[in-house]
Chain A
Amino acid sequence: MTLDTFPKYLLANAERIGARPAMRHKDYGIWQSWTWAEQRDEVRSFALGLRALGLKHGERIAIIGSNRPRLYWAQTAAQSLGAVPVPVYADAVAEELAYVLNHAEVRFAVVQDQEQVDKIRSFAKDIPLLTNIIFDEARGLRDYDRQGLYGFADIQARGNALIAADRTIAQRWEDEVKAASGEDISVMLYTSGTTGRSKGVMLMAKAAVRAASDTVAFDGLNENDGMLAYLPLAWVGDHYMNYAQGYVSGFCTNCPESAETVAQDLREIGPTYYFAPPRVFENLLTSVTIRMDDASWIKRKIFDHFIGVARKHGEAILEGRPVPLTGRLAYALGDLLVYGPLKNVLGLSNIRVSYTAGEAIGEELFSFFRSLGINLKQLYGQTEAFLYVTCQKNGAVRSDAVGPPAPNVDIKISDAGEVLFRSPGMFSGYFKQDEKTAEVLTDDGYVRTGDAGFIEADGQLRIIDRAKDVGKLRSGELFAPKYIENVLKFYPNIKEAVAFGDGRDFVGVFLNIDLQAVGNWAERNNIAYASYQELAGHPDVYKMMAKHVDETNRRLADEPIMAGMQVKRFLVLHKELDADDGELTRTLKVRRSFVAERYQPLIEALYDGSAEKTVETEVTYEDGRKGRIRATVKVEDAKVYPAVKADAREAAA
């Protein structure tokens, strides 16, 4: 049997490492675990139950909920029947959910709980095909109409009853799995929809397996590794790491108790393999900083001293570069007193390999974690590639680039500066959208990423911005909004930034304060505030922001091609950008054009020289009701620095 589907790996792992844990889930305060052999049995009984319910080869089945063993099993069970799992973002509002379910033409959905059942039923008339809902948690569903509603365990019981009635059924199921074709579609992942409606990305089984095997070999992952599954099931990264790599390498996937307990669960599990977007690392650092600010002076002194030592020698030690003996001794002492305990608190003690991706990561932030001895690296990828396009090798890591092409991946830069790739894990097309598929494929079989970038001298890819966002100022100078925003966002006090400037005279930005960091600072400085809005508009907060903008301009002035994009005017937004208001995507990326349209009067104020502007904005509360908030927002000027004489850094944007 060629291992070219995930159900085949399930059978192989149950043979090879049947007694090793495949899955853990913290439930009722205890880590419940399932071995590979047990996982095979769970998947088998669910698969047979699903078939009895009518799921057929080639059909699609939606999976909606947070990271739960049963939802992962449901995906394998579907695949074992030749059906295609379609994981959907669990926090999508009912309307978005209905769009995806309808577009994917699902007849079946496996969902976590009442919340998802409610969402589906509230849009039932828009999804006429979806007639079978299977739920994991029964809570709250007692009095629901049971028509087309089944418990996960009930479906498994059906499967078990079939096996009990006819012993050969189990064997026949295994034979079918072994005979299945790697050419079948393995999974369909919907893109998060940064630009317009989300598209269903179809991934072929053997391509997905190939991509996962390449990177499992690259990082030497095996059945002794473990990972915490806490990112959305529908996101390519979770499906790639916790599902695909998990099956291929046989490592254990750990599901947290709830979204609020992730930090504690991480600490208890102590994974060896870890992924987090820069945002998470940022929050970790912010919380460490805040807690150290509250510590006694002696602890603070010790912390500051050894963090200094780590900054000096930590990365060199991690990469095996030469370090003087005194440095090594100081670092060893620091490890005993500070780094070890700190990593333990963060749950990062056992990390062998960890990645960050999705957004640019600040140099300070990146090297902070690396200097503690955590092997943090960057990768670059997208759903269409089944995640990996580039990834950094151990020892060849930098914060401003995302690494050389991953194994067996080809990269080239188009004449327009767009990054193109061709890889074994490449998608087979968008579901029911052939014209869109044709748009992103080049004639020679490369995929357009939509990102502008260039390849550095050491072979690492550097991403500047989304290709379509890169523009020019009226003076003709380059304008890459993401680049400016990232520099600004590296300040812990700034949560989000949106830059404008394409076709205009200069660059203006909107800033969002980080309530946790700025709130803490306000408390420390006896600044009273009653609301987010009041804090955001406080004169002292403006002063703080002005300082950050000033420093940003200095940094931009240092890089010849970026010097023209210095920020001339800025304002601090009176409300936090929010996915519920459509300002961010579900993966929390800014929807630039939407924000521009919504805050049109504020953009005018940036460019017409006015000192303040009164605006009224509609907001959506958590329960879906709408309200309006009014605010007067101040606009301030910032100093612009002359560009540093170009000692000619390579520019290729």
Chain B
Amino acid sequence: MNAHSGVEIIAAPDDGIAPGDKLMEVKNVSLRFGGVKAITDISFDVRKGEIRAIIGPNGAGKTSMLNVINGFYTPQEGTIVFRGVERRAMKPHHAVRQGIARTFQNVALFKGMSTLDNIMAGRSVHMNKNLFWQMLWHGPALREEIEHREKVEEIIDFLEIQHIRRTPVGRLPYGLQKRVELGRALAMEPSLLLLDEPMAGMNLEEKEDMSRFIVEVNQQRGTTIALIEHDMGVVMDLSDRVVVLDYGKKIADGVPDEVKSNQQVIDAYLGVAH
């Protein structure tokens, strides 16, 4: 009697910010490694409910920017305002608690664990029974586990990976691993989802699948997404607004059509004769 089919899946948590308002703001951030300036005085914002892309040629500082946002790097200058709270230094696990989840350019899954367990790991941030109960795996901890398993099953259904539920992820093809990684990030029910080159190394069909999932995550769950991507075509189709970096500096910011026709962007991507 309890068919779930057609039921809308978990929505992004309510964080008191209305759709379209600023969810996150990067203010004058600079990041240096010794003498190397990875990011120079960059400012932009991410509005709730949008798909925001950060693009740029190799070495433009895209991944560094993502690492700053989720607290892996601490910028020397500038601040980040997330859900109205300003901060500069933060540990990655604090970022997770605040509702930022991410995937990695090179898949970072637990290779020996099954798809199910990997996604379940993403739920750990929401598990609050103490170690004692979890070790007993009884009573409240068991109830909690069942509750979380239901959420995980919704994600498995959503990403159409039922057939690999029990397969160790190390044995899966790359495209599917990427999908599992997205699943793990979704399991955290983030208010901001960071995707680092979600389509790198994929064939056309896998790219099409992944694009569809990204759009659906955004539309059905209302999750705000910031993504880095190399593939210009994909970016322009997917995103609402695009920020372009080149040599650590912001050279353009706007809707895809504006960015596409921006001369600086064309030069950065195609190169200019000096």
Contact digits for B216-254, partner A, Cβ 8 Å, 1 yes 0 no: 100110000000000000000000000000000000000
| A136 CA to B6 CA, complexed, in Å | 7
| A69 CA to B5 CA, complexed, in Å | 11
Given contacts A29-B165, A140-B216, A258-B160, contact A38 B1 (CB under 8 A): yes
| A142 CA to B219 CA, complexed, in Å | 9
| A32 CA to B153 CA, complexed, in Å | 14
A523 CB to nearest B CB, Å: 17
- Any B CB within 8 A of the CB of A27: yes
Contact, CB under 8 Å: B1 / A136: no
- Any A CB within 8 A of the CB of B23: no
B219 CB to nearest A CB, Å: 6
Contact, CB under 8 Å: B6 / A151: yes
- Any A CB within 8 A of the CB of B8: yes
- Any B CB within 8 A of the CB of A25: yes
| A258 CA to B162 CA, complexed, in Å | 8
- Any B CB within 8 A of the CB of A138: yes
The number of chain B residues with a CB under 8 A from chain A is 22
Within 8 Å by CB of B156, from A29, A136, A143, lies A29
The residues of A that contact B205 with a CB separation of less than 8 Å are 622-623
B210 CB to nearest A CB, Å: 15
- Any A CB within 8 A of the CB of B150: yes
A42: nearest chain-B partner, CB-CB: B1
Contact, CB under 8 Å: A27 / B5: yes
| A264 CA to B164 CA, complexed, in Å | 10
A18 CB to nearest B CB, Å: 14
B220 CB to nearest A CB, Å: 7
Contact, CB under 8 Å: B165 / A32: no
B273 CB to nearest A CB, Å: 37
| A142 CA to B6 CA, complexed, in Å | 11
| A152 CA to B154 CA, complexed, in Å | 20
B152: nearest chain-A partner, CB-CB: A29
A256: nearest chain-B partner, CB-CB: B162
Contact digits for B94-125, partner A, Cβ 8 Å, 1 yes 0 no: 00000000000000000000000000000000
B51 CB to nearest A CB, Å: 15
Contact, CB under 8 Å: B6 / A261: no
Given contacts A28-B154, A142-B219, A622-B205, contact A136 B5 (CB under 8 A): yes
Contact, CB under 8 Å: A28 / B160: no
The residues of B that contact A38 with a CB separation of less than 8 Å are 1
B160: nearest chain-A partner, CB-CB: A258
For residues 1 through 23 of chain B, which have their beta carbon under 8 Å from a beta carbon of chain A? 1-6, 8
- Any A CB within 8 A of the CB of B77: no
Contact digits for A25-53, partner B, Cβ 8 Å, 1 yes 0 no: 10111101010001000000000000000
- Any A CB within 8 A of the CB of B163: yes
For residues 202 through 235 of chain A, which have their beta carbon under 8 Å from a beta carbon of chain B? none
Contact, CB under 8 Å: A257 / B6: no
Contact, CB under 8 Å: B219 / A29: no
Within 8 Å by CB of A34, from B1, B156, B219, lies B1
Contact digits for B22-56, partner A, Cβ 8 Å, 1 yes 0 no: 00000000000000000000000000000000000
| A35 CA to B194 CA, complexed, in Å | 45
- Any B CB within 8 A of the CB of A260: yes
A30: nearest chain-B partner, CB-CB: B153
The residues of A that contact B162 with a CB separation of less than 8 Å are 29, 257-258, 260-261
Within 8 Å by CB of B6, from A32, A34, A153, A258, lies A153
Contact digits for A596-639, partner B, Cβ 8 Å, 1 yes 0 no: 00000000000000000000000000110000000000000000
B176 CB to nearest A CB, Å: 11
| A622 CA to B205 CA, complexed, in Å | 10
Q: Which residues of B come within 8 Å of A, CB atoms?
A: 1-6, 8, 149-150, 153-154, 156-158, 160, 162-163, 165, 205, 216, 219-220
Q: Can you list 28 A-B pairs, Cβ within 8 angstroms, ordered by A? A: A25-B3, A27-B3, A27-B4, A27-B5, A28-B4, A28-B150, A28-B153, A28-B156, A29-B149, A29-B153, A32-B2, A70-B5, A135-B6, A138-B6, A139-B6, A139-B216, A142-B220, A143-B219, A151-B6, A152-B6, A153-B6, A257-B163, A258-B160, A258-B163, A260-B162, A261-B163, A622-B205, A623-B205
* Ranked 4 nearest A-B pairs via Cβ: A260-B163, A28-B153, A138-B6, A29-B153
